[in-house]
Structure formats: C-alpha cells, structure tokens
Structure 1
C-alpha cells in the first residue's frame, strides 16, 4: 500500500525530531560523565603514592565495585531513604536513646540534595537549639584557613609565626603542621603554655594547634574569629544559629549537663576563655544547632560550594598524616579511615565539659551524619553516646545497629560511687580518731598522713594525666569533689590532732612558777 501525501508529510516532519534524538544520544555517549557533587572528597588516581593514602583506599580507586555488604551495608545508591529510613531510625532511637542516658540529643542524616532525616530527642525540643560542638569546631577553623589560602593571604608551608608573631611560635612550626597536628604541642597545653615537644613531625592531638590557627585567622583577616566565621562560613552556608564566641547570638541553647555521680545535672557551667584556657572557640567551642550542622555537612557533599574551592576541600581530606597509634589518618580537622570494604570515611568526635558530638561523611555514598547531645559523662555515658552515633550511621548506609547497654552504664557508675564512698570514709577515719583522742602515730607519720598525702592528691591530675587541676575539676566534677573532700578531711584531721597535742602539752617549770606568783599577787 502506498502512503498518502499527508502521511509522507507527517513522516518528513518527524525526521528532524529523530535526528535531534540521535544527535543527543551520540553527544551523551561521547561527552564525559557529569562530575559528582562530592567529587572533591573522593581519592583520585593522582593521589596514589601520597603518604596519606591507605592500601584500602588505593584498592577502592582501582576497583570501586568492592562488595559493601562485607561491612554490613547496602550497595551505594541503595541506602534506605524517605519513609523507610525514618521508620528504621525512629525505631532504633526510641530504644537506643533512653539506653544511652543522655538528657537530650539531635540527629540528622543528609545528602547532597537535602536532609534525609532529622529528629530531636529528650530535652532538645527544636532544631534551632544550639550545642557546643566540641572538636567538630576544628574543621570549621580549617575551612577558614583554607579560605585564606584560596585568597592568597596564607601559605600552608609558611611558618605559623609569620602570621601571628605576637605568640613567639618557633619558626619550625608551619601552618600545615597546625592543621595536621604535627607541631609537637602537648595534649593538655593551653595556647599560653604551648611548646614544641618530642612529638614534632608526627601526629599528636593538641587543642593549642587550632587555638593558634584561630589567632592566625584573626590577625590575617583583621576580624574577630566569631565575626570572620559569621561572614565567611556561617552566613554563606545558611548556618543562622551558629556562633564562635561568648553567647549564642540570640539562638536558643540546649542546656548543657555534666555528670555528677552518674546523674546529669544542668549546673550552669561555662567554659573559661583566654589564652590560658584549655581550648577556645577555634579548637572546640563553636555553638551550632542540628540545622546548622546539616547545612555544614552538605557543603562538603557539594565539593565546598559556598565556602571553598574543590581543590582546597580536596586538600582538607587528603593532605593528611597517619596516626601512629592506629590505622587512621588526620588532616585539617578530620579523621579519615577506610571501612573493611575499602570505603573512605571522614569523621570527627567532639567532647567538652557539658556536650558531646560526632559527625561523619561517607563520600562514596554522598551521605553525612551528625549527632549532638547536651551532656558529658567521661565514665560510660560518652561511650554509650558514640555507640548510638555508630548505630545511626550504620542504619543510614543500610546496615544493622546495636543498642547501647544501659545496664552496664548504671553498673559502672554504681561501682565508681562505691569507690568514692570508700575513699571519703578512709580520709575521714584519721579525723574521727583525732576527735576521739586516740594515740598519735608519731610526728613523722602524722605529717605524712595530714600534709604530704593531701598535697600529693592535689597534684595527682597533673602527675597521672598531665592535666591541670582546674581542667580536671571542669571535666570530672564528681571525681574532683571527692578528691578535694579527701584532701580537706585529711587536713582537718591534722589540724585537730595538732590542737589536741597543744592542749595536752605539759606546763614548763618556769611557766608554772610564774602562774603561782601571779596567783599569790591576786
């Protein structure tokens, strides 16, 4: 059958459309694949051979189709989302949050397109309530420094003292050393105390590194650290509640809690600032809400958009050094490591006197997880919190999650409380003996018990931990109270013993004669 004239016309009209379709298909095949949003976070073949890349990450570059189910996760792109993710995380948190014991927490899971999941728990009732995010602040300081590098105002391999000469930093310490924590500064040293030690050249964690970087940001930019972050980091990224100074800029605060004998107490503690403090805003005291942190992680998943060039962000991840104590790496405010399947993971924990936090990015999945809590418990509570954070991350990538063991947490605190009680009773025993007039142990023993021992106890945090007594009191308030109570009781026992000895001292013959003469005169 021959086609009619109208049918031939319709066929001719379809030719350009078909040609356009074929052309578009050819162009799509010939054109390079569109870049991933988080490409700056992924190791590239050019990175192979750098000291920072692990064997697992090299394998992930060369053979990226490794089976992620080896680590109990789904394949990239098949992670739970939407209602499925919400159901899984809600079910887990309903059980895990009460078990971890924290008074309040906030959880967010994000990807490059937005927030996949967000929930506030306990006494945290709004996504705009701010937390002190602890050492999560360090990566924000690194972002600020890398912005100055992008602008040509700072060079990573220049001496740090060239940008903050007032602090007298040795010329051997570079800006990169501070970012990668290879300066040799001591763990418990404040910025005022910081000096180069034997660890110089290798990774050794110290807040003073990032306190000095904060000073560099201020000196180079001419702004306060808080003002710089607000203008160049928080503002562009939509972190409307975040701040890096005293106060929270008007945003509501999640109430911070310290653990007193296993009970979380909102005791109103405020961290003391200044160069003599162990940590400042640039190393651990940025305030941010869960909304802020979700926006912050999404910046990384968009290869630095809004804050950094992709190259600067890539350096933040891969210009790093190995941690000699394990199989992880540290660079510019991030710890990086590989899961068993070779996947790169970026993570950092935060912990200050009355808050605790964790953030995590899995670049190969374009996923970020952040968990914040408004309490700090050095004996079990923080461990339970990090277990909960691990569970959230595992569920976010399609794996299984374990619930923290709440009974073990209670048992641990009960044991410590018994030990505290025994210590206080032991310290009170000499006082009780002195009040009852029991015989003295002898001058040497009394001096050792009532003077040398309490003085030694006061120096115990410095001798055993390298920690100043004031910092020990801030982070371990219940232990510090027990320590000070024991010292006070021992000293009191010595004072009572000395008073009894003075009262019972025999009267000398000359003094007795004077007393008899005085009585006759009367």
Structure 2
C-alpha cells in the first residue's frame, strides 16, 4: 500500500515489559537483538514495534518495544498488539486465487476478461500477470492528495475509474512494476467466481479453517483494544497518521493482525494447509519478464536474496505502519517485525528484520558485506559524492553537466525528499563492475547503519563525473 516519505526523528523509546523468549540451547543473541532493535527504533523515530523470530517451527524470540501511541502517551506495545500489516495482505489474496484454481473455478493463465470482462485492459492481461505485478496496469494509489483521499470511503467503480482511462504502462509480461491495482482486481475476481464477498471468502476459507477467529481490517481498527496507532513524520516532527479506509486498501492491504496470527498463517501456508504444495511452489517461483529476466516476485511474495541468502516474504506499508514478514529457507528462520511508523525512507519493518538476521548470523552478514576486488577509489569517491548530492539537492557537482542540469529541477527535489531521511552513508561497499551494452557500470551497496542499505550503481562520463545512476 502507500507509504509516506518523511524525515526520521529521534524519539527516545522505552522497552515494553514483554520478555524475550529463548533458551541457551537456541543460541539466540537476545541481548544483541534487544540492543540493536531499540537502537534502530530510536534512530528512525519509531514509536513502537513487535518482533518475533521462529526457527525450525519454534518461537525463539518475541519482544515488544515502545508505545501504542507516542502522541497521547499511555500503554506500551505488547507481543499481542494489533498492527496494520499493509501489503502482507497480498499473500492472502494470492492464496485465495490459488485455492479457487485448485477448485477448478479459474486458471491463472487465463485473461482477466474471462472473469471481469468490464475491467480495464481485461483482454490484455492475465491473472498471473496481476499476481506478479507484471500487468502494466497503472497504480490506482498514484496522484496528488492521496493521504487525504484514502482515509475516506469510496465505491469500487470510482476507485477503478482512477486508472480505467489510462494506457498500460508497458506491455504485459515485459517488465515488473509494483501495482496495487492488480490486487484490487484480483479481489473482484475472487468475488466473481466464488459468489462471496472478498472478506467473506477469506473468513470462510482461510481464517475459520486455521482457527484465526474473526478477520480484522482497517475498518475495525478504532474499536480494537490493544491496537497500535499509526504515526508518521511531518517536517521532522512525529504526528498521528490517518487510517487508510478499507475501501481503498481492500485486497491489496487492509488486514490488521498480531504476531501470533501471522505465525499461524505462515506455518499453514508453507505447510500445505492453505493451498497445495504445488500451488505454494507457484507462489514462490519468480516471474520471468520478457525484457528484464526475473522479477524477483512470485504471487504475493518477493523471492530474492539478502546478505547472500535466499529470502521469501513481503513488506507492508500504510499511512502509519511499516511491517515485514521474511522467511530465510536455508536457515529455516522466519523474522517478523511490525511497527507503527509509516515513513518509507527507510521502511522500519524491513530494517528490523535485516538487523535481527545479522544478529543471528553475523558471519553470513559480514561475508556478504565484503567488497569485491579491483575497487577504483576514484569511482567510489564519485559515487558517494553523487549520492550525497542527491540527498542534499545541492549543486550536483559530482554529476556530468547534462545530468546535473536535469537534476536541478523537480527530479532532483524528489530524490532529496526520498533519500535525505536515510542520513549520510556509513559505508559504501563495492560489489563489482559490469558492462551493459557500451556502458560500464559500477555497483555498490550503501550502508546506513545496521540493517539499512541501498544498492547504488553509477557510470562515469569522459570527465570522470557521474553520467548515469540507478538506485535499488
């Protein structure tokens, strides 16, 4: 879902009273995790969080940090606190689609027109492309004033009308571009072929069989006891964030859950209790685009690597929350972090899962952070200087004249807004050089303290300055 950009603050946090769980036999560095998570929350001004680690099916660490409400004061976060989980909702939607395929009611390689003939570009895109963010459909949450609009009710026809007149952003299947629109439409497909509302389908076919109780969404948020309140930073100051309306979030991101709920869901999904193991393999197989190869995304799940290790999972972000639910198959470890801060530069939920992984496996993370050989210090200086120019929106002295001129306008201002909250890089790790056509590129990973990093690549012009760059 949408995630707001803001400056990170420095809100002092008190650890909540919930104890860490683990034994000496588990070799869980609980004290290090406590320290490093609390440090990151302080560094980025996160009001509260709940963190859990499950290894080989056993909970080895659970702890809550900070406050439900940093503005009004009051109760601390607990391990059973409710949080919006944002786009982690997408894996529930994807699983529902696969359940219906197993029941013979749809096929993911059929056109959307088979199930929603009136939908935008319905004859051009398949369900598989909607599931994998490769349809080319434009993002319905784009546009000015979305924070104010998304807290109000809206009818589905008005929601889809935001993108219906627009052309596809690219030919279906050719590229990957994250789009909530695909999951909005998948929710309607579920309704069309099942004869139930999206909410009723999830309740009857997922929540009830797994013993998860009543499904909770952003629509119930204000009535839930022990519900974390969403926050974001506005001009560097922490403020209460709005609640995204269930009409806007829906199948793309409206669920509200606890650590214990996600633990049940994750084990059931991976264990064949929600969908077959063959369907789960489909969920966790990256889509191959025709232009750029692997999308590093299956159905409702990112499928990639972090610290050189395979990782399957998803992050979630809304107006006032960022979350992450990440599984590392080689280690058989799942790390979940739920936070009540909606800033996405960086996303606190993902940063916390990275931090916990490095505390659990310091040797692996250290190996992944070693630089590649043959680093050119001149290129590294140009790259780090260019990144600082992007953060400050300054004179772009490290860029070639043509690129610097382009950045001097609105494009440069957007990069400054997005990147300044990360703070100055604490390290720039050279990862190698590569040839792309006639262009020679240099790849780096920029570190911003524990758990926070950005891939950054540059190519230099004849003047030795940065003539091209990519982030992420």
Query: TM-score category by the smaller chain?
Result: 0.5 to 0.7
User: Given the alignment of the two structures, is residue 349 of structure 1 paired with residue 315 of structure 2, yes or no?
Assistant: yes
In 2, are the aligned partners of 1:145 and 1:217 still within 8 Å (CA)? yes
Q: 1:373 aligns with which of 313, 330, 339?
A: 339
Give 1:242 shift. 4.5
Residue 261 of structure 1 corresponds to which residue in structure 2?
235
The match for 1:133 is 85
Structure with the larger helix share = 1
Whether the 8 Å contact between 2:49 and 2:339 is mirrored in structure 1 is yes
Which structure is larger by alpha-carbon Rg, 1 or 2? 1
Retained in 1: the 8 A contact 2:338–2:349? no
Higher strand content, 1 or 2: 2
Q: Deviations over 1:201-260 (max 9, x none)?
A: 222211100000011112222222222212222233343474246214845321111212
Counterpart check, 1:329 vs 2:281: no
| 1:283 matched to 2:242 | no
| Partners of 2:307 and 2:364 within 8 A in 1 | no
Given the alignment, which residue of 192, 198, 213 partners 2:186?
213
2:329 matched to 1:363? yes
Taking structure 1 as reference, are residues 263 and 326 closer, same or farther at Cα in structure 2, changes over 3 Å only? farther
TM-superposed deviation, 1:271 = 1.8
Displacement over 6 Å in runs of 4+: 323-327
Whole-angstrom distance in 2 between the partners of 1:246 and 1:114: 32
Name which of 107, 111, 117 aligns with 2:51. Answer: 107
Q: Deviations over 1:418-456 (max 9, x none)?
A: 99xxxxxxxxxxxxxxxxxxxxxxxxxxxxxxxxxxxxx
**Deviation at residue 322 of structure 1 after TM alignment:** 5.1
Give a deviation string over 1:500-521, Cα, whole Å, max 9, x none. Answer: xxxxxxxxxxxxxxxxxxxxxx
CA distance in 2, matches of 1:138, 1:240: 19
State the Cα distance separating 1:326 from its structure 2 match: 9.2
Where structure 2 has 5 or more consecutive residues not aligned to the other structure, the ranges are 1-22, 69-76, 143-158, 367-387, 395-409, 419-472
Q: Is the 8 A contact 1:100 1:388 kept in 2?
A: no
Q: CA deviation at 1:384?
A: 5.4
SS in 2 for 1:121: strand
User: 8 Å contact 2:301–2:312 — kept in the other structure?
Assistant: yes
What is the CA distance between 1:325 and its match in structure 2?
7.2
Change (3 A) 1:340 1:133: closer
Matched, 1:172 2:124: yes
Q: Aligned equivalents of 1:396 and 1:322: distance in 2?
A: 34
Partner of 2:60, secondary structure, is strand
Q: Is 2:350 the counterpart of 1:386?
A: yes
Aligned partner (choices 257, 260, 271) of residue 244 of structure 2: 271
Q: Quick one: structure 1 residues 175 and 361, their matched pair in 2 at CA, closer, same or farther if it must change by over 3 Å?
A: same
Whole-angstrom distance in 2 between the partners of 1:347 and 1:186: 24
Q: Aligned-pair RMSD on alpha carbons?
A: 3.4
The CA distance in 1 between the partners of 2:255 and 2:119, in whole Å, is: 23
